[in-house]
Structures are given as C-alpha cells and as structure tokens.
Structure 1
Amino acid sequence: MISDLESRVSRKLMLRIIPFVMLLYFVSFLDRVNVGFAALTMNKAIGLSPTAFGLGGGLFFIGYFLFEVPSNLILHKVGARRWIARVMVSWGIVSFASAFVVGPNSFYALRFILGVAEAGFFPGIILYLSLWFPSRQRALAAAWFMAAAPISTAIGSPLSGAIMKLPPIAGLTDWQLLYILEAVPAIVLGFVVLKYMTDTPSKAHWLQPEEREWLIAKLKMEADARHTHAGHTAGALSALRDPRVLALALIYFGTSAGLYTLGLWAPLIIRQYGFGSFETGLLAGVPSILAVIAMIVWAKHSDRTEERTWHVVIPCVVACLGFIFAGNATTALMIILALVVVNIGISAAKAPLWAMPSMFLSGAGAAAGIAMINSVGNLGGFVGPFVIGWLKNVTGGYSAGLYAVGATLAVSAVVTLMLSRQSKQTPVAAGERHGH
C-alpha cells in the first residue's frame, strides 16, 4: 500500500520537477529539429543537396557523441543546476548563429558545434531524475520528461510552419527568422535554471522535513539493495565497458534513427503531396499528439507491472512496421497514418528503456553509463537522416531509406530480447522484479 506520506512526496516531485524539465526539453528539441522546416527554403538559398542536408542534419550527433560522456561526468561533479544552465545558454547562442550560415561548410560546422553545446543535456536530466524518483515512479517520470519531444513536434511544427510564412524583417528571410526566434527561449531559460533547479533532495526546502527525510531514506534503501546484487556497476570506467550498457546503446540507436528521421524528413516527405508550409506543420504535428498519450499510458503500465523487456520490444516492432507502411504509402492519408504508427512505437519504447540503466548503475557509473547509452544510441540520429538523404539521391524516392530505418528498429527489438535472456542468468534482473 502506498502511504499518505509517499503519495504526498510523489505528487510534489511530479509538480515541481517534471513540468520544468519538460519545458527545457521542449525548447531543446525545437532547436534541434527546426532545421527540417528551415530546409523548406534554406536548402535552395545556400545550395544544399539532399545528401548535404542529410549529412549536416546528422553532424549534430557526431559533436553530441564526442562530448556526451565528459559532459555528464562534469554534471555529476558540479551539480545539475549549474551545468544544465551552461548547456542551455551555449546551445541557444549556437542555434541563433545558425541563421547566418552561407553554404554547406558553415552549415556543417554549426550543426556539429550545436551537438557539442547540447551534449549532456538529455542524459543529464535522466541522471537527475534517477536522483529524485524512486524506482516505481522512474519510467513514468522519464515518460513525462520525454513526452516533451513529441509535444515539441506537435506544437513546434505548426509554429515553425507559421514563422516560415513571415515576410522578410530587417533583411532576414523566413528560415533565418525561424532560427533566431526559436533560439531566444533557450538562452532565457538557462538563467531561470540557476534560480529554480534544486541539485539533490537534501537541498529541497520546498519539501517538508519529514517528506525530505522519507525521500532520502527511500532512495538510499533502493541504492543499498542494488549494491548488494552481483553485477552492480558504480565506477565510470567499468560502466563504459559493461556489455549491458553497449546493448542498451544499440537498442537506443534504432529508436533514435527513427525519431530523427521523422524530425528532419517528415516535413519534406509530407510537403511532396502538395501542402503549404503551415499545412505541412499541422500534419507533421498530428502523429505526435497521439504519441504522447501512448507514451504515458505505456510507461504507467510498465511501472505498475514492473516489466521492461516486452514494453520495449512491442513498440519497436510496431515502429518497424510503420516505416515499412510509410515506404509503401501512395497517398497523403496513408503517409500520415504510417507516421502515426511510427511515432507511437518510437515514443512508447523510450521510457521503459530509460528505466533499465538504473537497475544496475549508480554514482559515476550511472553518469558515464547513461551518457554512453545516449551518445552511442544517438548516432542513430546521424545514420537515419543521412541514409534517407543518400538513398533519395540514389533512388529518387523515400521508400528505400524508410525500409532501412525500419530495419534498425527490428534490430532493437531482437537485442532487447537477447539482453533480457542474458540478464535472467544474473541476480540483477530479479532486483527489478522485486522493485529494488
């Protein structure tokens, strides 16, 4: 039975922490994928071919990959508040500067630097949530946080489409205004983080003393229980070598390839059916609204049953089938339905997947391991968009690229099953089933 004290703490954590980190991720995701809308006029203006656009879109993840683990280890040392503030201000400045690219090379450079600036934000927040939420709430907390990505697409797509209809202002064209207007919130929020965010439960003066003590004791008890299991990893280097970390990174690779393929290419795929910028934005946003609902419901079910494996496998298979359907679509209705299926699958897989690392990682091991999963996994964000652009150049259509991205999600499903089978041979898996 959940005690009155526990439900009170849970409610306060959800209200204080989740809406704020969702807002941060909303702005982050907007700045990461608005390049898909800028492309509607930018590509022609600065001379980008589909291959060059796919490469530039993906270079973000190379910068991200290289700086992710160091960034998260710094966050573990200096605290989330200061480091997340630094991340947000720096990526806002780089996003603002993207309005002034003049050709392929400056486009490549700024996409790479944007990845460097933003490295550590997502795994930093995942690590931050693990310092606050007991294990029975962790998938739901992660789901609400990550719901900001599809919400960002749902709200940000029509918003970006509307900005793209603005007339030139002060000599700046539509795509330049898009970068500038969507960069400002990141810089402002960076300073808000310094005032609002609390590093650890022990500093949470917005909790009553008894609530604070209960939360600290509960998290310590769970940590102690994990430490008693064989196969627990607390060191940074051992986490980076842990085969389970590499397996989770490979699973995440497929979901990232799918997510960023949608973010970068969905506007251009929808546009080919003859829609204007604003209509394209509205249609790109529809699948995301349904994805948010699926994500929250699925995460709640995963937390309630304390089952993770099938809660990752089933959505990955659904998303894979969605990409195959998209590759065969011949009408606007078919492509929208396919994008709905893909969005639901990818979004639903993520929260149960991110509840897995804290089953066997803690301390610096968690900081390094979570960053490693995210950075290697996010290379899917480079591969997916690039493959779509390259195969479109080769074949003249989107189908081959969509099938290739679908295949990465099939691999994610298979690796999840293999990891589950492997984990059952160690005591760690039992810890998850008993709520440790």
Structure 2
Amino acid sequence: MSEVSGAEGTRRRHELSEAATKKVFRRLIPFLLLMYIIAFLDRSNVSFAQKEFEVDFGISASAYAFGAGLFFVGYAVFEIPSNILLHKVGARWWLARIMVSWGLVSAAFVFVQGPTSFYILRFLLGVTEAGFFPGVILYLTYWIPARHLSRARGYFYMGIAIAGILGNPLSGGLLELDGVLGWRGIQWMFLVEGLLAVVVGVWAYFYLTDRPKDATWLPSDERQALMETVEAEDTAKAEGHGPQKVLAALGNWRVWYFALIYFCIQIAVYGVTFFLPTQVTAITGQKLGFQASLVTAIPWVFALLGVAFFPGLADRTRKHRPIGCALLLATAVGIFVSGALSGTPVLAIAGLSLAAIGFVSMQPIFWTLPTEYMTGYAAAAGIGLINSLGNLGGFLAPNMRDYFDKSVGGNAGLYSLAVAAILGAALFALTAVFKKANEIEAGHLDEVDSAADIRGH
C-alpha cells in the first residue's frame, strides 16, 4: 500500500513541479530574454560605427579590432567576483545593478573622440556588464529542473538572434538621424540603446524574484514541489564528481577544459558578429544604413529558428554531444562558404546564416554539461570562470581576423574563425571521457524526482 501511495505521491509532485515550471517559463524567460537582447545590442552595436570612427577619429581597422576586443578583458577580470556576489546578494538586485551601469557606459560612447576614449569605454563596458550572462545561467539553475534547462537556455539565447533581427535595423535606423539636433547618427544610436538598458534595468529590480521560495506568484503546492525538485538535483550534483567549493571549482581541470571549448565557440561568434555589417555591405555593395541592416538581419532570422529547435531536440533525445558537435561543424562550413563565395551574394549570405544557426544553437547545448557538475558557490565561481575565460575568445577573434587578413591576405582571417569552430567541435566530442557527462547524456538527473518525493515525506 505504501508503495502505491509513494508512487502516487511521486506522480503528483512531478505534475505540480511541471505546472510550476511552465509558469516560471512564462514569467521569467521573456524578461531575461529582453535583458539579453539589449546586452548583446549594446556590446555589438559598435560594429555600425566602425567606418565613421575610422573617418572622423582616425580609429584604424587594427585599433577598432583591439578596442572591440577590450570589452572581453574587462568582462573576464570581474566575471567571477560578480557571479559570486549575485549568488550571495540575490539576482534581482545584482542583475538590475549590472544593467543600469552598463547602460550608462554604453550611452557614454557619444563622447568618443579617438582611440584612447574608445579603448577606455570598451573596457569599462566589459567591467560593468561582467556577471550578467553567467549570472543568468546560474539563475536559471535556481528555477528550472534539469530536464528543461537546455530549452530554457535556448530561449534565453534567442536574445542574440533577436538582437540581430530587431537590433540591427534599429541601429541602422538610428544612423539615419545623422544631423538631427546637431548630433551624428552614431551618437543617437549609442544614446538611445544605452538609455534603453537603464530603463529595463530599473524595471528588473521590481520584476525579478530571487528564488522559488520567494515566488508569491506561484501556488504554494507548486512552489513547494519545484523547490523539492531543484533541491534534489542539487543534492545529486553534490554526490557526483563535481567540485563543491569555490577554490575547488576554480582548480578543477574539467572546468578549464569547458572554458577552452567555450573559448573556441566565442572566437567564431564574435569574429563574425563584430564584422557582420561591413562584411554584408562588401558582399552586397550597399551603403551601411537601414536597408543594409535588413540584409544583416537575415542570418539572425535563421539563427532564431535554429535555437528554437535544436536545444529542445537535445533535451528530448539526450544527444547533447553529437548535436552540439554537428552545429559547430555547420558553423565552420558556413564561415568558409561566406568567404569562398563572397562574389555570389545569395550563397555568401546563406553561408553566414548557416554559421549563425550553428554558433547560436550550440551555446545553450554546451552549458548543459558544465552546469550539472556544480552547485552553490562552486557553480557561481565555475560558471563565471568558464564564461570569463571563454569570452576572451571575443578579444582574440577580431584581432586574429585582422592579423591574418593583413599577413596572409584574402579571406584568411575569416577562415581562421572556421578553424576555431572545428577545434571546438573536436574538444566537445572528447567530453565523452567524462563520467558525469555520460550520466547527463543518459538523463541521470532526470531521475531525481523520486528522491525529492522521499525526502518530502
């Protein structure tokens, strides 16, 4: 009889947890997505100012590449302490602080007058935004059971694609305000998009909820079931092979290995993103502005479709590793095609679209493995380390592309990004040697519901 009641209790708790998770998706994911759209827009809108910076302020291609990459140096330095502080003081206050401060710095780009001011502001933008992305990745583990995490991160990663679809035309349209009230178009772009971040940051303070226990917008029974599920998964992580303390996480070789994979991914992401407007205008022969920005949005439309499909597929099939590897290889092929067939605009844009599908869809799948190794402060530090070191690929990418373009010529810089994507795919495939990674692929953490039910009774 007790077995029957125990099974019924497990089923009931699972239903309540699933109902709570659906409400979490509806309430939190759209807002986090909005925050990421603005974040990606504010870190990449500088690509629309590249030509004007060069003409008006003498910021050369090499200086632009260096300054674009400096964002990730400031980002890397402050990433880990920022993520630990988020875990300590709560996501609501800390994410709001991050967003307001980066919005103010982004708006300050209206005062750029040369390479030095450009370098300083790019570095400060990285410092102020540090902790936002890994903070959200950590925040999702507080709220979403493991069986739904790739899908949740997939929705969050839609921010990259939507920023390209809506943000690029917005940036291009703001450039058309050139001369209004005596301001240049790029000044309007930086001011409007920076202040947008400030407004949403203030909103975040009043809208977000730190933990499920604080979620008064959930029915009490659903809130309790969700808390038990997430707590049981944390216990399963603690009993596994992952580090449990900050220093252990920072010294764990698997964490560094994941950082290397993410480093390769980010080389492809930002090596394409920071040069996408100029590459598209070179392919199509258009002038940079609103019309060209519509063409620039095409790869992001396909990326949005990809990230809406592939992370959910990986969760359903438990095939994170082969799907992730295939997506990175698709990125490499797409980058190569965009360069080799640059004389054929339709095929070149198709190549960029394939690359965007690959590197956007792969990233939420990637995070499935490292986030299941750690919990608590170890997760805050480990995720921060992976993201900070990985994002240094965003510093290397524009400088590497500029170096190979100048030293080898042709499309060598573009092809170097494809090599990085291939290396990332190979490294991700080798996670097959990790015992915990294989357990995750087999759905090990999906089985903790019964443990939570036993503990709940």
TM-score (norm 2): 0.91
Residues in 1 aligned to 2:220 and 2:23: alpha-carbon distance in whole angstroms: 13
Superposition deviation, residue 325 in structure 1 = 1.2
Superposition deviation, residue 132 in structure 1 = 0.4
Equivalent position SS for 2:274: helix
Distance 1:278 1:431, change over 3 A: closer
Residues 254 and 412 of structure 1 are in contact (CA less than 8 Å); yes or no, is this contact kept in structure 2?
Answer: yes
Whether 2:398 is the aligned partner of 1:388: answer no
Partner of 2:280: 270
Structure 2 portions without partners, runs of 5+:
1-10, 446-457
Partner of 2:152: 141
Equivalent position SS for 1:292: helix
Residues in 1 aligned to 2:409 and 2:192: alpha-carbon distance in whole angstroms: 34
Equivalent position SS for 1:147: helix
Residues 54 and 390 of structure 1 are in contact (CA less than 8 Å); yes or no, is this contact kept in structure 2?
Answer: no
Superposition deviation, residue 428 in structure 1 = 5.7
Equivalent position SS for 1:356: helix
Aligned match for 1:305, one of 317, 322, 325: 317
Structure 1 portions without partners, runs of 5+:
none
Deviations, residues 183-205 of structure 1 (Å, cap 9, x unaligned): 11111111111101100000000
Residues in 2 aligned to 1:389 and 1:139: alpha-carbon distance in whole angstroms: 34
Residues in 1 aligned to 2:292 and 2:404: alpha-carbon distance in whole angstroms: 23
Partner of 1:417: 429
Residues 151 and 312 of structure 2 are in contact (CA less than 8 Å); yes or no, is this contact kept in structure 1?
Answer: yes
Superposition deviation, residue 150 in structure 1 = 1.0
Distance 1:428 1:154, change over 3 A: closer
Superposition deviation, residue 427 in structure 1 = 5.1
Distance 1:257 1:427, change over 3 A: closer
Aligned match for 2:162, one of 147, 151, 167: 151
Superposition deviation, residue 385 in structure 1 = 1.4
**What is the letter of the counterpart of residue 46 of structure 1?**
F
Whether 2:68 is the aligned partner of 1:68: answer no
TM-score (norm 1): 0.96
Residues 42 and 175 of structure 1 are in contact (CA less than 8 Å); yes or no, is this contact kept in structure 2?
Answer: no
Residues 373 and 436 of structure 2 are in contact (CA less than 8 Å); yes or no, is this contact kept in structure 1?
Answer: no
Partner of 2:340: 328
Partner of 1:211: 222
**What is the letter of the counterpart of residue 280 of structure 1?**
A
Equivalent position SS for 2:444: coil
Deviations, residues 359-418 of structure 1 (Å, cap 9, x unaligned): 211111100111111111111111111222233344554x10111111111110111112
Residues in 1 aligned to 2:224 and 2:114: alpha-carbon distance in whole angstroms: 56
Residues in 2 aligned to 1:281 and 1:176: alpha-carbon distance in whole angstroms: 17
Distance 1:332 1:431, change over 3 A: closer
Partner of 1:256: 266
Equivalent position SS for 1:34: helix
**What is the letter of the counterpart of residue 366 of structure 1?**
A
Partner of 1:238: 248
Residues in 1 aligned to 2:437 and 2:285: alpha-carbon distance in whole angstroms: 53
Equivalent position SS for 1:170: helix
Equivalent position SS for 2:419: helix
Residues in 2 aligned to 1:244 and 1:89: alpha-carbon distance in whole angstroms: 34
Aligned match for 2:377, one of 348, 361, 364: 364
Whether 2:135 is the aligned partner of 1:92: answer no
Superposition deviation, residue 7 in structure 1 = 3.3
Superposition deviation, residue 58 in structure 1 = 0.6
Residues 53 and 389 of structure 1 are in contact (CA less than 8 Å); yes or no, is this contact kept in structure 2?
Answer: no
Whether 2:387 is the aligned partner of 1:378: answer no
**What is the letter of the counterpart of residue 161 of structure 1?**
G
Partner of 1:48: 59
**In percent, how many aligned pairs have the same letter?**
36
Residues in 1 aligned to 2:443 and 2:430: alpha-carbon distance in whole angstroms: 21
Aligned match for 2:199, one of 164, 188, 200: 188
Residues in 2 aligned to 1:123 and 1:427: alpha-carbon distance in whole angstroms: 21
Residues 57 and 382 of structure 1 are in contact (CA less than 8 Å); yes or no, is this contact kept in structure 2?
Answer: yes
Partner of 1:83: 94
Deviations, residues 19-53 of structure 1 (Å, cap 9, x unaligned): 00000001111101000012232221111111111
Distance 1:309 1:431, change over 3 A: closer
Residues 80 and 131 of structure 2 are in contact (CA less than 8 Å); yes or no, is this contact kept in structure 1?
Answer: yes
Whether 2:407 is the aligned partner of 1:407: answer no
